[in-house]
Amino acid sequence: MRRPSTNNSIMNVSRSILRFYDLYHGSDTVKVLDRALDDTVNHVVYMLLDGFGVNIIKAHLPKDAFLRRYLRQTITSVFPSTTTAATTAVLSAKPPIETGYIGWMQYFNDLRSHVIVFKNTDYYTNLPASVDVRSTYLPYQTITDQIRHRHPDVKTTVLFPDFVEHGYKTFDDMLFALDVILDTNEKSMSYAYWTEPDLSEHEHGIHHPKIRDLVFELNKKVETFAQTMPPGALLVLIADHGLIDVVPDPLYDDDILMSTLKRQPSLESRACVFDVKEDDKKAFVAHFKKHYGKHYVLKSSRKAIEEGLFGKGPIHPLASSFLGDYIAIATKDHMLSLTKGFPFKAHHAGLTKGELEVPLVIFRKHVHSEVPK
């Protein structure tokens, strides 16, 4: 079992970018990026490829591929190593414990609902939440908002796929939009998020030939885009997390364990939260360790918070309720299936090297296409 870095994580990358715009003054920034962000940079392109872990890059790309040549440092995700927690840490420059964005689905006591935070629907019923949980319970200021307010002369843009209004249907469309932004004398800071290769990895597993082809395609498209950037533009490319191939454990079928719970499990399949009936806690712990202890570490959620596993900083008012009594953290290649249905072939949110290690790619077009070391 590994732990996220406190100084070289995706959150620290965002703090380096805020530092460049004189919006962050802490020491926990990523030094290789601080050096690249010099006074001659006019455009910052901050790109996140979902699920593009270092293990994926090294498994599928040759050493001379663009994204390996300009991989300046291996950094870590946050915990849980999952999109909800990680992309929010990137966009806020704050840890999950502070933002309250901790996992895919979180139990909201006020709503009595296990809400998929990014979809605003109940995980178990598919019914919409009665309020928008993000604006009602989990508001935060993004790094692009901070930059825009401090520097009105910097054009800030957030680019997403078409699951959001005015999003982009293809990665090519998104890259073209970035080209347009960079083809101007106006200073800019752009954040661009793309869903692949995460979606395909979940479906096929990380070693499937389709993943290899997809990774090659992403590498080629990013290289083509980077080579067309003007000299004053800096590309900073990261991932939110990696993935590993997994074996499902049908937790939904464990009647004995489920009978000890106040409600259905929450959060993630590889970082699973349990609210346990007071009189059944000893029985729950004994049963879980006996049947699942080989592949998961069971921790008191309070202890996990105290250890700083979810990051260090002010604790969000709802964080303790989101994290329940216990959290089961996957340390090997298994996942807890919470409902029936087709299980993922690869997944994330645990504390393995494959899930935690992500790339920090830095590229700027100089005479020799190199970023000063």
Confidence check: pLDDT of 370 > 90: no
At residue 273, does pLDDT exceed 80?
A: yes
Q: What is the pLDDT of residues 76-131, one digit of tens each?
A: 999 999 999 999 999 999 999 999 999 999 999 999 999 999 999 999 999 999 99
The structure's pTM equals: 0.95
Report long-range pairs for 161-170 (Cβ below 8 Å, ≥24 apart).
161/193, 161/194, 161/195, 163/195
Same domain, 97 and 224: yes
Task: List the CATH number of the domain containing 303.
Answer: 3.30.1360
Q: Does any domain span residue 135?
A: no
d(CA 350, CA 331): 6
Q: Is residue 325 part of a domain?
A: yes
Q: What is the pLDDT of residue 372?
A: 45
- Per-residue pLDDT averaged across 305-321, rounded? 96
Task: Report which residue type is found at 241.
Answer: H
Q: Give residue 373's pLDDT.
A: 45
Domain count of the fold of the chain? 2
Whether 123 is covered by a domain: the verdict is no
| Residue 134 maps to a domain | no
Q: Are residues 250 and 238 in the same domain?
A: no
pLDDT digits 0-9 by tens, 213-265: 999 999 999 999 999 999 999 999 999 999 999 999 999 999 999 999 999 99
- Calculate mean pLDDT across residues 171-183: 97
pLDDT in the model for residue 1:
67
Selection from 192, 197, 245, 229 nearest residue 371 by Cα = 229
> What proportion of the chain, given as a percentage, has pLDDT over 90?
96
Task: Give the CA distances from residue 293 to residues 258, 304, 336, in Å, rounded to whole numbers and listed in that order.
Answer: 16, 17, 12
Q: Under a CB-based contact definition with an 8 Å cutoff, are residues 67 and 225 in contact?
A: no
Provide the β-strand partners of residue 334: 247
Distance, in Å, from the CA atom of 358 to the CA atom of 361, rounded to the nearest integer, reads 10
SS3 string, the chain, reads CCCCCCCCEHHHHHHHHHHHCCCCCCCCCCHHHHHHCCCCCCEEEEEEECCCCHHHHHHHCCCCCHHHHCEEEEEECCCCCCHHHHHHHHHHCCCHHHHCCCCCEEEECCCCEEEECCCCEECCCCCECCCCHHHHHCCCCCHHHHHHHHCCCCEEEEECECCCCCCECCHHHHHHHHHHHHCCCCCEEEEEEECCCHHHHHHHCCCCHHHHHHHHHHHHHHHHHHHHCCCCEEEEEECCCCCEECEEEEHHHCHHHHHCECCCCEECCCEEEECECHHHHHHHHHHHHHHHCCCEEEEEHHHHHHCCCCCCCCCCCCHHHHHCCEEEEECCCEEEECCCCCCCCEECCCCCHHHHEEEEEEEECCCCCCCCC
Pull the structure tokens for residue 35.
Answer: 């050096």
In a domain, 129, yes or no: no
In a domain, residue 329? The reply is: yes
256, 198: one domain: no
Q: What one-letter code names the amino acid at 124?
A: Y
Mean residue pLDDT of the chain comes to 96
Indicate if 31 and 68 belong to the same structural domain: yes
- Residue 116 is assigned to a structural domain of this protein: no
Whether residue 272 sits in one domain with residue 304 = yes
Measured between alpha carbons, how far is 369 from 365 in angstroms, rounded to an integer? Answer: 5
Q: Looking at residues 11-15, what average pLDDT do you find? A: 98
**369 pLDDT band (50/70/90 cuts)?**
very low
CA distance 174 to 49: 12
Mean predicted confidence (pLDDT) in 15-32? 98
> Domain check: are 32 and 64 in the same one?
yes
* The amino acid at 219: N
Same domain, 72 and 210: yes
pLDDT at 61 over 50: yes
One domain, residues 319 and 264 = yes
Q: Are the C-beta atoms of residues 212 and 338 closer than 8 Å to each other?
A: no
pLDDT digits (tens, 9 = 90+) for 139-164: 999 999 999 999 999 999 999 999 99
Q: What is the mean pLDDT of residues 329-349?
A: 94
Range of the domain at 325: 245-347
